[in-house]
């Protein structure tokens, strides 16, 4: 469900709650005494919508709702109690309570939201630092990691992955090669082909990355992607030789994004492939390297959308 749809649904629920409370309140007579008790209870329910609005929309939403409730309530005071100044004064006083019930939690919820946002930003910056640390050794890793993260999140969103999981998958994509920090310089930076022993050492990086990332609570799912980022759909990958759905979905989504970025990027030994050439390579590997369902989703993405991501990190300048 998109954020916009979610907000619209909440507004509908809020308006319905206000409508139902007002309707029941207006329809319940104040005589005899038994009905009057019910009438008073319904009157107290007007406190509910400002609190709900505070939780869902913060201070501004709470104020708008308190205003709507006040208008309905004040009409009631004058229509149901004409000339009864004591009762009217009592009810007008009660109005202040609706505002307090909305404004104080509204302010607190706004504050909580901004603190959570600050925390999310701090987490993001910490992760970028981690990727930058690897970038100091293996140049351009950060650009590659950021592009791959965005490609992966785009494919995930078209695959129907919800926003929270998409974010976790994005963290996994961003950190996928962080375990390369454990690979010695003479192997990591070797310009020539690696020997068998050197490959063995290099192939330890998913495990090393997993051990680094899994310690962090909010990165548990991301750690699984780091661990599985060199597996293959047909079981021919490493380190565990996982096959098909045994590979976490995030890693299956990542694999296509990673190879697409590698193929469309400049390499010392070849020019970047065009989108069409890279897509053809990916299609060839459907069912072998890649999950066919993920390949089908990737193929349905407009090249323009992928190009926009590539251009954001194109010229080699790292965004500060």
Catalog residues that contact Fe ion under the rule CB under 5 A: 177
C-alpha span between 59 and 103 (Å, rounded): 6
Burial environment of residue 320 by CB neighbours within 10 A (0 to 12, 13 to 18, 19 or more): exposed
Q: Measure the N-to-C terminal CA separation of the chain; round to a whole number of Å.
A: 32
Q: Supply the minimum distance, in Å, between the C-beta of residue 225 and Fe ion.
A: 11
Shortest distance, position 185 Cβ to Fe ion, whole Å: 17
Q: Which is nearer to Fe ion, 7 or 200 (CB)?
A: 200
Residue nearer to Fe ion on the CB measure, 69 or 178: 178
Pick the closer one to Fe ion by CB: 177 or 261.
Answer: 177
Q: How many residues does the chain have?
A: 320
- The nearest distance, CB 229 to Fe ion, in angstroms, is 6
Angle, alpha carbons 296-297-299 (nearest 5°): 65
Q: What is the C-alpha separation between 77 and 153, in angstroms, rounded?
A: 54
Select 153 or 177, whichever has its Cβ closest to Fe ion: 177
Measured from the CB atom, the residue of 207 and 234 that comes closer to Fe ion is 207
Shortest Cβ distance from residue 103 to Fe ion (Å)?
Answer: 52
- In eight-state DSSP terms, residue 30 is S
Instruction: Name the residue whose CB lies closest to Fe ion.
Output: 177
Q: How far is the CB of 168 from Fe ion (least distance, A)?
A: 19
Tokens of 40: 């008073």
What is the tally of helices (H) and strands (E) in the chain?
14, 0
């Amino acid at each position: 469900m998109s954020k916009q749809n979610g907000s619209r649904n909440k507004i509908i629920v809020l308006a319905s709650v206000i409508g139902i409370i007002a309707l029941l309140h207006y329809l319940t007579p104040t005589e005899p005494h038994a009905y009057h008790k019910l009438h008073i209870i319904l009157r107290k329910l007007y406190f509910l919508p400002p609190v709900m609005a505070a939780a869902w929309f913060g201070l501004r939403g709470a104020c708008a709702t308190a205003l709507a409730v006040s208008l309905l309530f004040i009409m009631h005071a004058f229509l149901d109690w004409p000339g009864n100044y004591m009762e009217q004064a009592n009810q007008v006083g009660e109005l202040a309570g609706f505002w307090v019930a909305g404004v104080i939690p509204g302010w607190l919820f706004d504050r909580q939201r901004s603190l959570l946002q600050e925390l999310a930003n701090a987490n993001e910056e910490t992760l970028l630092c981690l990727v930058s640390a690897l970038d100091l050794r293996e140049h351009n890793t950060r650009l590659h990691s950021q592009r791959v993260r965005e490609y992966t999140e785009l494919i995930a969103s078209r695959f129907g992955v919800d926003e929270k999981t998409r974010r976790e998958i994005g963290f996994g994509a961003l950190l996928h090669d962080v375990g390369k920090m454990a690979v010695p310089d003479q192997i990591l930076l070797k310009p020539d082909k690696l020997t068998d022993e050197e490959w063995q050492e290099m192939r330890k990086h998913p495990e090393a990355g997993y051990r680094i990332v899994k310690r962090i609570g909010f990165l548990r799912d991301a750690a699984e992607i780091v661990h599985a980022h060199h597996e293959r759909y047909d079981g021919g990958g490493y380190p565990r030789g996982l096959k098909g759905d045994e590979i976490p979905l995030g890693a299956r989504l990542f694999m296509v994004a990673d190879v697409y970025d590698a193929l469309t990027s400049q390499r010392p030994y070849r020019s970047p492939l065009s989108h069409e050439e890279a897509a053809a390579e990916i299609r060839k590997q459907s069912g072998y390297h890649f999950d066919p369902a993920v390949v089908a989703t990737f193929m349905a993405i407009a090249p323009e959308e992928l190009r926009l991501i590539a251009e954001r990190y194109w010229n080699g300048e790292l965004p500060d």
